[in-house]
């Protein structure tokens, strides 16, 4: 369970609720206990007072004496272990049991009241005497003990239950979202050319959607519906983009081809100056054709890869491209054979872009170096440009489409698609293109592709 996941938040929420509930329940229990305890004390004191008053009245009636003589005699044999009893006559204490600090004089002649952590009740008898009975209040201390013991006993149990229930509820609550994420991730495997059918992508989404439709929560169902509608709009947009790219490619190739044919035809009868101008025009036309081809290749989804292609000897391919691009100006170390599987035309474009990049940025008098490293499962082709340096800030920017460094913009023609296109082609083949040199070393780029494996 990840720290920031929804399930972890559910666990933390249930734990917090459990802790707060423990404090609330323990506090409520102690408050209720205090109220109940006080009520019981008041009732017990009232019963005790009635019993003692009845004994005093009976003693006075039997002996025919006044309250001053009958009271002490009646209280002498009474069981009063939990109570403090006093008799007050004319503002003086005449009897106390047990001995100790006086609780009086009584605040009222007859009634129940509290004073100095004592619960007291007094009753006035004929002749002016007052019987005072009291008991020490222990309810608050007992309520505090109850609160502490309830909290100590219930908090660990509540925490364990909160964590267990939180994990179960969190996983059940996030299961639809996990399924949703898995279906979204599975969408990476669709083949973009099939998206010319506007319903192809939504149909792929519906394959996993119907299975969980009846059990997923309403919020996830709403998200599911919203995502499905978004896929429908995206598939339609993708269809239009693919149609536009295909149509634009076709429509641009035709006039460019015608322009090239007319320029070549005009060169046959043109003056030397006109031939130079027409030659520049042909080169610009070739650049535009190359740009169109590059953009079409970049439009392919690298995640989907390529169908299982033909076996290609990458060493021979690099040898041919190096001879055409660099001529004899390269230090080439190639094996006789380095077999990979893929599209020879696309791999040729990637190799040509890397070698052309080395040719442009190798200082005058320098010689580009080409090396191969053959491993069991990877073929690694490296190009080193002696004297060229690449700063740490530019390492990844070089692979952004249309990015050109200030030096490149000032000294070299181009569109900033050479390295991004080489990386894209390598990833179509399950490999990659990287800059592996530090800022203090000669610039070095590597093309890695999986080695050829026999078909099974």
* pLDDT one-digit tens code per residue, 32-42: 777 777 888 88
pLDDT per residue over 254-266, tens digit each? 787 788 888 888 8
120-124, 198-202, 338-342, 450-454, range with the lowest pLDDT: 198-202
Q: What percent of the chain has pLDDT over 70?
A: 77
User: Does residue 320 carry a pLDDT above 70?
Assistant: yes
pLDDT value of position 412: 60
For the chain, the distance separating the N- and C-terminal CA atoms, rounded to the nearest angstrom, is 40
| Distance (Å) of CA 358 to CA 46, 81, 347, 373, 442 | 107, 107, 17, 19, 11
The pLDDT, as a whole number, for residue 195 is: 40
pLDDT score, position 12: 74
* pLDDT confidence band for 198 (50 / 70 / 90): very low
Confidence of residue 117 (pLDDT cuts 50, 70, 90): confident
Alpha-carbon distance of 322 to 288, in angstroms, equals 23
pLDDT at 147: 67
Helix, strand, coil abundance in the chain, percent, nearest 5: 60, 15, 25
Q: Residue 269 contacts by C-beta under 8 Å, 6 or more apart in sequence?
A: none
pLDDT, position 455: 57
Look at residue 190 in the predicted model and tell me its pLDDT: 46
240 vs 247: CA distance, rounded Å: 10
pLDDT per residue as tens digits for the range 42-51: 888 888 888 8
Q: Is the sign of the CA dihedral 14, 18, 21, 25 positive or negative? A: positive
Backbone angles phi, psi at 232, to 5 degrees: -60, -45
The tens digit of pLDDT for each residue in 375-416 reads 778 888 888 888 888 887 777 778 877 777 766 665 566 667
List, as one string, the DSSP characters of 277-342. HHHHHHHHHHHHHHHHHHHHHHTS-TTT---S-EEEEHHHHHHHHHHHHTTT-EEE---S--EEEE
> In terms of DSSP bridges, do strands 111-115 and 92-97 run parallel, antiparallel, or are they unpaired?
unpaired
| Rounded mean pLDDT, 274-297 | 75
The structure's pTM equals 0.45
pLDDT at position 146 over 70 = no
Mean predicted lDDT score pLDDT of the chain: 75
Phi, psi dihedral angles at 360 (to 5 degrees): -70, -40
Give the residue, 76 or 212, on which the prediction is more confident: 76
Using pLDDT thresholds of 50, 70 and 90, give the confidence band for residue 290.
low
At 119, give phi and psi (nearest 5°): -100, 120
* Rounded-to-integer distance, Cα 406 and Cα 105, Å: 102
pLDDT of residue 208 exceeding 60: no
Cα–Cα dist 273/26, whole Å: 101
* Rounded Cα gap, residues 150 and 26, in angstroms: 6
Order of strands across the sheet with 368-374? 330-332, 368-374, 378-385, 443-450, 432-435
| Burial of residue 10, with CB atoms counted within 10 A of its CB: 0-12 exposed, 13-18 middle, 19 or more buried | buried
Range with the lowest mean pLDDT among 57-71, 129-143, 192-206?
192-206
The predicted structure's pLDDT at residue 397: 79
Q: What is the percent of the chain where pLDDT is above 90?
A: 0
Q: Is the pLDDT of residue 18 over 70?
A: yes
Residue 161 is encoded by which pair of tokens?
């239950």
Per-residue pLDDT averaged across 280-295, rounded? 73
Sign for the pseudo-dihedral over CA of 70, 72, 77, 83: positive
Contact 363, 387 (CB under 8 A): yes
Q: What is the mean pLDDT of residues 404-433?
A: 75
Q: Are 74 and 59 in contact (CB under 8 A)?
A: yes
Per-residue pLDDT tens over the stretch 57-105: 887 777 777 777 777 777 777 777 778 888 888 878 888 887 777 777 8
Residue where the block lists tokens 């919203």: 226
How many CB atoms are located within 10 Å of the residue 247 CB? Answer: 10
pLDDT computed for residue 202 by the predictor: 53
| pLDDT per residue as tens digits for the range 348-370 | 888 888 888 888 877 777 788 88
From residue 403, give the alpha-carbon distance in Å to each of 274, 383, 430: 34, 20, 24
Position with higher pLDDT, 239 vs 272: 272
Are residues 343 and 314 in contact, defined by beta-carbon separation less than 8 angstroms? no
State whether residue 371 is helix, strand or coil.
Answer: strand
- Strand 330-332 to strand 368-374: parallel, antiparallel, or no bridges (unpaired)? parallel
- Residues with Cβ within 8 Å of 290's Cβ and at least 6 positions away in sequence, in order, are none
Picking from 252, 245, 230, the residue whose alpha carbon sits closest to that of residue 193 is: 245
């Amino acid at each position: 369970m990840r720290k920031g996941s929804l399930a972890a938040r559910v666990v933390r929420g249930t734990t917090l609720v459990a802790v707060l509930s423990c404090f609330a329940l323990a506090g409520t229990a102690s408050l209720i206990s205090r109220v109940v305890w006080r009520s019981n004390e008041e009732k017990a004191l009232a019963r005790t007072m009635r019993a003692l008053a009845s004994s005093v009245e009976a003693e006075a009636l039997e002996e025919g004496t006044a309250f001053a003589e009958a009271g002490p005699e009646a209280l002498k044999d009474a069981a009063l272990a939990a109570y403090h009893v006093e008799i007050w006559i004319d503002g003086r204490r005449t009897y106390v049991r047990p001995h100790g600090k006086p609780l009086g004089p009584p605040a009222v002649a007859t009634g129940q009241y509290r004073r100095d952590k004592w619960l007291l009740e007094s009753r006035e008898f004929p002749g002016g005497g007052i019987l005072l009975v009291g008991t020490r209040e222990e309810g608050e201390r007992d309520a505090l003990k109850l609160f502490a013991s309830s909290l100590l006993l219930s908090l660990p149990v509540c925490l364990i239950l909160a964590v267990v229930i939180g994990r179960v509820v969190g996983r059940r609550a996030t299961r639809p979202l996990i399924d949703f994420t898995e279906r979204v991730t599975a969408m990476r495997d669709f083949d973009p050319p099939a998206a010319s059918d506007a319903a192809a992508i939504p149909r792929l989404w519906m394959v996993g959607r119907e299975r969980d439709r009846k059990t997923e929560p309403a919020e996830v169902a709403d998200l599911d519906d919203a995502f499905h509608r978004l896929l429908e709009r995206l598939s339609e947009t993708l269809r239009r983009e693919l149609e536009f790219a295909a149509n634009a490619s076709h429509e641009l190739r035709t006039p460019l081809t015608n322009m090239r044919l007319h320029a070549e035809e005009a060169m046959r009868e043109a003056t030397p100056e006109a031939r130079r101008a027409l030659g520049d025009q042909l080169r610009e036309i070739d650049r535009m054709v190359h740009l169109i081809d590059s953009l079409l290749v970049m439009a392919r989804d690298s995640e989907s890869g390529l169908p299982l292609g033909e076996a290609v000897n990458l060493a021979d391919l690099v040898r041919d491209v190096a001879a055409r691009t660099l001529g004899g100006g390269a230090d080439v170390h190639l094996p006789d054979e380095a077999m990979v599987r893929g599209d020879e035309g696309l791999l040729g474009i990637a190799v040509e872009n890397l070698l052309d990049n080395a040719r442009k940025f190798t200082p005058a008098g320098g010689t580009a170096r080409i090396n191969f490293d053959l491993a069991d499962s990877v073929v690694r082709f490296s190009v080193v440009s002696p004297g060229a340096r690449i700063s740490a800030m530019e390492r990844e920017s070089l692979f952004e489409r249309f990015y050109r460094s200030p030096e490149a913009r000032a000294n070299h023609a181009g569109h900033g698609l050479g390295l991004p296109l080489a990386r894209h082609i390598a990833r179509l083949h399950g490999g990659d293109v990287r800059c592996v040199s530090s800022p203090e070393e000669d610039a070095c780029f590597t093309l890695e592709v999986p080695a050829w494996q026999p078909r099974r």
